[in-house]
Every structure is written in structure tokens, then in C-alpha cells.
Structure 1
Amino acid sequence: MLSALPARISQRLVVPVVCVSVTFIAIVDGAITTVALPSIARQFRLTTAALDGVVVVYPVCLAMAIPASAWLVERFGGKRVLLTALAGFLGSSLLCGAAAGLGQLVVYRAVQGLSAGVLFPASTALLFGTFTSAEQVRISRYMIIPQQIAPAAAPVLGGLLVDHLSWRWVFYVNLPVGLPAVLFGALFLAGDRGGRPGRFDLPGLLLSAGALGSAMFGVSEGPNRGWTSAAVLVSLVLGAVLLAAAVAVELRTAHPLLRLRLFADRLFRDTNLINLVGLVPIMGALYLSPLFLQQAQGRTALESGLTTFPEAFGVLLTVQIVGVLYARVGPRLIVGCGLTGVSAVLVLLATCDADTGLWTFRGYMFLFGAAIGCFFIPTTVASLATVDRTDLAQATMLNTVVRQTGGALAPAAVTTALVLGTPPDTGAAPPVSAYQHAYLALAAIAAATAVFTFTLPDGPARAAARGSGTGTGTARPAVRRRRRDRVG
């Protein structure tokens, strides 16, 4: 009876349901944990600063696990890897909630990060492997809804759980959503036995994981410890050295863990570069705005949340338009205009001061959301337009590395700008001018990225979206890759 159930539900419904659940859980967990830190510190009789390890260990371990995700998907199949990673994430969430001390909590958060490092690329590979390029834009219009709701709802949910139950429920809350997703996926996801991707590249894993972990630690801790501190400098230098070694080894390996030769395709390379740099002003502004409202204007956390929330409405409106225009206009014009709009709105935000009204700021945040709604879907879909289906797991894994790096650089850049704009040895919060200069710096980065975006060769992406080109699932990119491998 159960063996017949999967055939009754289309994978075009099953896969998005599972991926939406995974995305929602992961985003909420990342945003909700910060709310619980003061309560955790009180129970363990520590300062909030002493919980730095709880915050930093998650992105570090996530970055270290990502390189292995593509090989695991190719070897064991997307369903098996995704559900195993999700089960590991939920199990570590349960352990985090039951932690008896700081040491246990850090260890369990590390396991959470390792699980998430496999979860993100496996979920993306499964989603984009199910739909053609022409369908990916349409399905992404709906997939982005939980991505916008989750970060807005997480602080409110976290506050309610901490105030009325316990900080432990910040971790337990993952289970009511995650366990049904595991059961649903186990019953209805189509399984595949995987393949034979080649011998596991252990040197590539050690070098790439070490490079990403070291770099992520340095970027995360730089604003807190200072960029000239010994720990930060050593981690950044070590990350750079290990990254160079990883590139050299992977380009000479017959079956590399990281297929860096995918970057020989200009569309894949350029869209990832746009993602890396473009995420800095986008995520940086989303990080900076609550700080400005609460520190420069003295608003409450609730006022801050309600004032930045219109950004989500702007995104949800624009992505529907993007879904209609993508095949006709192409990602170059859409993303380029979106980043130009991001730069313009950031200039407007730079004019805000301590007396700027909340409704004015809300209007700016709505416009900001409308602008960034042109960014996420086109860059993701275009990056995979010329990638062969056999390389999909590798491509989504590399995309995840790029996005995680860009996301980590954003708060580091903002915090550094605020520190540079604050008079030394005053011990005071950053002045309004520091926030204004930070907004202008982000605007300059967005403008420069927009200029580069207008050079994007998006003809193949438009053709794939119309179903008339070499989109995801064709063989021609794979042939080109094998030829390049022989030449290399």
C-alpha cells in the first residue's frame, strides 16, 4: 500500500513542499537564535559576549560541510541525502534545547551547522533538478514567499517562546515543522540510487573545508575582535592559503570534490560574481536598518520590526512581475535595473536622520524590497541555465558557497563601516553620520555591481527560459566541460 503512494502525487508538488519546509526551518533557526542569547546567558550565568561561540560555530561548520554536499548527492541520491541531513538538523536542534551547559550547546550547534551545510545545496539541487529552466522562474515566484516570511516572523516567534516558555523552545520549535517534512519526504519523494561520481576527494575536502571555515571565522569575528587582532589575521591568511592550495589541487584532480572548471562558463561565473558582491549591499542594508532604527532613533524592537517589514511586501510584488518578464527581457536587464534601484534607495536611506518619520522609512524599505525582488530569482536561475543536469549538484553547491560568503561579508562590512565612522575612545554608539556613510558605501557597491551586470551574456538564459536553448538537462554543456577537462 505505502509503496504505491509516491506514484499518486506528482514530484512537481512533493519537491516544492519539502524544499519550502527545509528553507523555512533553516531561515527561522538562523534568525531566531539571536533572540534567545540573553536568556541563555542568564541561565548559564554568563555574559552575552561569552556566547560568541554559539553564534560563530554555526556558519563556520556550515561552510566546512558544503564542499562535500555535491559528492554525497551524486553518490547516494538527493532524497536520501536531503532527508538524512534534515533528520540530523532536527536531532541536533533537540539536543541544543536539552543542553546542560555552554560546551554542549556549542557542540550541538556545530552539528546543526554541518547538517545545514548539506541541507541547503541538496534541497536546491533537488528543486532545480525537478523543473526545467522555463519552469524554474515560475516555481521560484512561490518558493520566495517563505523566504520572506521566515525572517520577519522569527524575531516575534522567538520573543514569544522565550518570554512565555523558555529559550530551549527556540530550538524545539524546529521539530513540529521538520518531522512532518521528513515523514512526507520519506513517503512521497521519488528515490534514486545515486551513481558513481568517482573516488571521494579527501584532500579536496580537507583543503576546501579548512579554507572556508577559516575564512568564515575571520570574517565573522573581524568586526568584534578587530581586523588587526591575531586570531582574525591568522584565520584570514590561513583561509587564503588553503583556498589557493584547494584551487591548485582541484584543477589537477581527475574527480575533484569542487568542479571549479564550471566557472569556465561565463554565464555561470558572472552570475556567481554578481551574487557574491551584490549580496553585500542587499544583506548589509537589511542588517543595518534595524540597528539604525533602534540605536540612532531609539525605536523599540517591535517598532523596528514593523518598520522594516514592508521590504517583504516589495519583494513579493516584484517577483511576480519578474516571473512574467524573465523569458522576454532576460536576467541582464532585470538584475541590472534591480541593483540600480537598490543603489538609489540606499542613497535615500542615507538621507535619514534621527528625526525621520517611521512611515518615510517604511516607504523606503518597500522600495528597497521591490528593487531586491529583481535580484534573487534571476541570478539563481540564470546561473544554472547552461549547466548540464549531471553537474547540477556541483553547480548548486558552488552557488551555495558563493551566497554564504556574500552573506557573511555583509554584516562584516557594515560593522566595519560603523566602527570607522564612530569617534575612537568615546564608548558611545555610532553617530547618525556613521549610519549615513555606511548606507552610501553600500550604495556605491550596488552601483558598481549594476554596471558589471549590464555586461552579462544572458542570451542562453533567455533561450533556456523559453525552452528553446541548452538549458538545464541538456548534454551540450557537459560535452564542453569534458573537452575543457581534456585540454586542462
Structure 2
Amino acid sequence: MCVSVTFIAIVDGAITTVALPSIARQFGLTTAALDGVVVVYPVCLAVAIPASAWLVERFGAKRVLLIALAAFLVSSLLCGAAPDLGRLLAFRAVQGLSAGVLFPASAALLFATFNSAEQVRISRYMIIPQQMAPAAAPVLGGLLVDHLSWRWVFYVNLPVGLPAMLFGALFLERHRGHRPGRFDLTGLLLSATSLGALMFGICDGPNRGWTSPTVLTSLVLGGFLLAAAITYELRTSEPLLRLRLFADRLFRDTNLINLVGLVPILGAMYLGPLFLQQGQGRTALESGSSTFPEAFGVLLTVQIAGVLYARIGPRVIVGCGLAGVSVVLLLFAGCDEHTGLWTFRGYMFLLGVAMGGVFMPTMVASLATIARQDLAQASTLNTVVRQTGGALAPAAVTTALVLSTPAAAAADPPIAAYQHAYLALAAIAAVTSVFAFTLPDGPARVAARGTAASSRSAPIRPRRESAH
């Protein structure tokens, strides 16, 4: 259930870009005029995330997850049938809002059901959709658009989502939830508007330019509202977002690693297709087949990381993983117009090998010291951090390319600009690696070892969720 939900939500955020030219022809618009179709999804996702923890605590993870998934599937159907751009944007916004609830609800359900040792094992499976979805989205989108129509990039969610919804309705344990206190409307307004404004500025900055009045206004307003939201949430007795959880050093440090570490990791995934298609003049199919090996590298390493997690702890695994990312990015910085596809594919595989030591350990360790009653809130904060890091990645890449490209060649960056962008990403990964080696992972090792003996010989069985 959680694997399917994660897969379709991530794919939907990435696959739409491939269909933009076809949508533009359908509605008689330019591709640039359709930026809103892409940007509205992460903006609305960011707006919905703050309320997700309260909804899970109040109504239960199962009910919230199924309702959000139903809304996501219905809006996908409506997006595919949209007769004009206005309604497509409206239905796309509903998709983003429902996805903003899906991510934290599925994570809260997963981590409330399994203990620490089981979470390590489960994470080895959860990493599959998280890595396969971004790699598969461009290829799948191209096939659907070329052989069917752009509408199928939305319809494709239904064959995956409907069986998942049926399975969840029949087999997920009922979680009754509890009364989490009054609904923090002021906190919702402040956090939702600040995150939405910041996400819009970050996502649209590369398209409009960072000096655009719209982008600057969005970023400044979002920053001001975010500061107000933090101040208010720390002072209120029943906050919508329990920011006091960041007082836990392990939770705080793993989230900081996720925020900064995702920039070079996802930045490399964003930069690769640009380098191949714009820098080397490769086709979209050549680009997609050359970036895909990264997923296989991740799947290989995460199995090893899962075995080593309880023995050596997340600190060494994450630190070495980020150091490996930095080294591989230096290899990419040596690529030029003569670099062959198989060399590039080899580097992508190595990048995946290094990345596999980052995602699973940080995800599991971030919740190792969190009380069960705070899991929904912690999962929501984790989602906010990951979504922000994911939005910062293309922004950092675009900024590096712009700074390294002469004004006269702004539309066609030289090879040197891509090399400089890879070097900038490698530097960020190296700094984050040094910080990762200071991670206080003792509690994470204790939690994993304390339950490993009882779960080693028995198959993983979901436990009934607490009703608090």
C-alpha cells in the first residue's frame, strides 16, 4: 500500500513535464505558458503538508490515507479529461493537495506499525519506489505521450492506485485516532502560506529568473511568514507543527542532512539530462536510458546498508555515502562533449551506489528517538524538509549554470558551465559528509539492536496501531 502510494505520487510530480509540449499543442499555447501545470503541484503539496499530522491524529492514518488517495485518483481522472487549461490547473491543484497528505500519512502509518528493526528491513523495500519513480517517469511519460496521448500521464495513476486503495480498505488495521486538541488555524494559515510562497519562488525562480519581481516577492513574503509561523508555533500550547521535536539532536541533525544532502543528490539527477541533451545533443531516449542505472546502484547498496545499520549505525553509513556522492560528482565534472554514454551510465550507477547509503539510514534514524504518539508530527516535519530539499536542488543547479554561462550564450550553456555545476554540487556533498560524521547515532543503534533479536527469525507482521 505505502509502496504504491509513494510511487504514484512521485511519478505524478515528475511525469507531467514530458507532456507539456503536447498539452500546449492541444490548447494552442506555448510550452512556457504551461509552467503553472508543473509548479502548482509542489506549491499545493507544500500547502497541505502542515495539516496532515493533525488529520492523522484526529481521524486515524488509515482513514486519512484512503480519503487522500481517493481524492488523488479522482483528480487524476479529471486532469486527464480537462477540456481547457483553467480546469487542468484546478484539478492539478487538487492533486497536489491530496499528495501533500498522502506522503506524511503513509509514512506515519508505516512507522507506527513496525518497530525499529523492522523499519530497517521495510525501508529496503520502500526505497524502490523512491528511486525507481523519478528514473522511470521520463521514459514512461515519453511512451504514453508518443503512443497514446498526454492525457494518459494522468490516467496512468488509476491502474496503480485503485488496487492499492482496495487493498488498504480490506487489509489495513483500523486506526481510530484520538483528539489531538484544538485545530491550530493560525498556525495552518501561517505555515501553509509561507511554505506555498517559498515553494513557488524556488520552483519558478529558474524559469522567471531570480531577480523577477514575482519571484523576489514570493521568496521575501514566504521568508517573513515562515519566521512568523516558527515564532507562533513555538509559543502556542497546541501547535499544528510540533517544532519542539527539533530539540531532539538526532531528529534535528538527520533532517539537516536530508535538507542539504538532497541538493547535490537530486541536483545531479536534474543536471544529468540537461548535460546529455543540451550539452552533448543526445536524444531524450538516450538521456533516459543513461540516467536510469542510478536506480540499480541504490537498490544494491540499500540492501547492504540494511544489514550493516544495527551493527555500525547510520553515522558511518551516511557519512561514507555522502563522501562517495562527492567523489562521483567530481568524476562527472570531468565529462565533456566527447564522453561516451556508457561512461556516463557507469558514473550514474556509482552515484546510485553512494546515494543508497544516505536515504534509508537517515529516514530510519530520524524517528529512532521519537515517541510513538509524535510519529505523525515527526513524519510531517520530515516531509516538509525533504520537499524543500527537493525544490532547492534544481534551483541550485540552474543558479550554478547561469553564473557559469556568458550572457550571450544564456540559452545554450557551454560544457564548462555543466562542469562547474557538478563541482559546486560536489562541494556541497563534501561539506554535508563532514557534518554527517558528527551524527549522534548511539540511540539509533540501540533501538535497532534492541528489537533485532525478536524480529530476526520471524517474518515481518504488521502490528495493530495504537489508538493512543
Q: Which amino acid aligns with 2:427?
A: A
Q: Which residue of 2 aligns with 1:233?
A: 216
Indicate whether 1:348 and 2:331 are aligned. Answer: yes
Q: Distance in 1 between matches of 2:157 and 2:144?
A: 12
Residue 151 of structure 1 deviates from its aligned partner by: 2.3
Partner SS for 1:456: coil
* Counterparts of residues 5-24 of structure 1 (less than 5 Å): 18-24=1-7
Q: Distance in 2 between matches of 1:120 and 1:113?
A: 11
Indicate whether 1:420 and 2:403 are aligned. Answer: yes
Q: Which amino acid aligns with 1:187?
A: L
Q: Which residue of 2 aligns with 1:263?
A: 246
Partner SS for 1:198: coil
Residue 313 of structure 1 deviates from its aligned partner by: 1.1
Q: Alignment length, in residue pairs?
A: 452
Equivalent of 1:128 in 111, 123, 138? 111
Q: Which residue of 2 aligns with 1:5?
A: none
Q: Which residue of 1 aligns with 2:120?
A: 137
Equivalent of 1:313 in 296, 300, 310? 296
Equivalent of 1:284 in 267, 273, 280? 267
Q: Which residue of 1 aligns with 2:177?
A: 194
Could you give the per-residue CA deviations for residues 310-341 of structure 1, whole angstroms, max 9, x where no partner exists? Answer: 11111111001001000011111000000000
Indicate whether 1:158 and 2:141 are aligned. Answer: yes
Q: Which residue of 1 aligns with 2:455?
A: none
Indicate whether 1:382 and 2:365 are aligned. Answer: yes
Q: Structure 1 regions of 5+ residues with no counterpart?
A: 1-17, 470-488
Q: Which amino acid aligns with 1:180?
A: P
Could you give the per-residue CA deviations for residues 62-84 of structure 1, whole angstroms, max 9, x where no partner exists? Answer: 00000000000000000000000
Q: Which residue of 2 aligns with 1:211?
A: 194
Could you give the per-residue CA deviations for residues 164-219 of structure 1, whole angstroms, max 9, x where no partner exists? Answer: 22111111111111111111111111112210100000000000001100000111
Q: Which amino acid aligns with 1:217?
A: F
Q: Which residue of 2 aligns with 1:116?
A: 99
Mean Cα deviation higher: 208-217 or 177-186: 177-186
Q: Percent identity?
A: 82
Q: Which amino acid aligns with 2:286?
A: E
Contact 2:115–2:451 at 8 Å: present in 1 too?
Answer: no
Contact 2:13–2:42 at 8 Å: present in 1 too?
Answer: no
Partner SS for 2:169: helix
Q: Which residue of 1 aligns with 2:320?
A: 337
Q: Which residue of 2 aligns with 1:359?
A: 342
Q: Distance in 2 between matches of 1:362 and 1:276?
A: 26
What's the TM-score once normalised by structure 1's chain length? 0.91
Residue 53 of structure 1 deviates from its aligned partner by: 0.8
Rate the CA distance shift 1:28–1:428 in 2: closer, same or farther, 3 A. closer
Q: Which residue of 2 aligns with 1:40?
A: 23
Residue 222 of structure 1 deviates from its aligned partner by: 1.2
Could you give the per-residue CA deviations for residues 62-118 of structure 1, whole angstroms, max 9, x where no partner exists? Answer: 000000000000000000000000000001001101111111011110000000000
Across the aligned residues of Structure 1 and Structure 2, the Cα RMSD in angstroms comes to 1.1
Mean Cα deviation higher: 273-282 or 188-197: 188-197
What's the TM-score once normalised by structure 2's chain length? 0.95
Residue 353 of structure 1 deviates from its aligned partner by: 0.3
Partner SS for 1:466: helix
Q: Distance in 1 between matches of 2:56 and 2:410?
A: 50
Q: Structure 2 regions of 5+ residues with no counterpart?
A: 453-468
Q: Which residue of 1 aligns with 2:466?
A: none
Q: Which amino acid aligns with 1:62?
A: L
Equivalent of 2:35 in 39, 47, 52? 52
Q: Distance in 1 between matches of 2:288 and 2:10?
A: 16
Partner SS for 1:306: helix
Q: Which amino acid aligns with 1:406?
A: G
Could you give the per-residue CA deviations for residues 413-441 of structure 1, whole angstroms, max 9, x where no partner exists? Answer: 10111111111033541000000000000
Q: Which amino acid aligns with 2:57?
A: E
Q: Which amino acid aligns with 1:124?
A: A
Residue 306 of structure 1 deviates from its aligned partner by: 1.2
Equivalent of 2:77 in 77, 89, 94? 94
Q: Distance in 2 between matches of 1:195 and 1:289?
A: 46
* Counterparts of residues 63-78 of structure 1 (less than 5 Å): 63-78=46-61
Rate the CA distance shift 1:158–1:468 in 2: closer, same or farther, 3 A. closer
Q: Which amino acid aligns with 1:229?
A: S
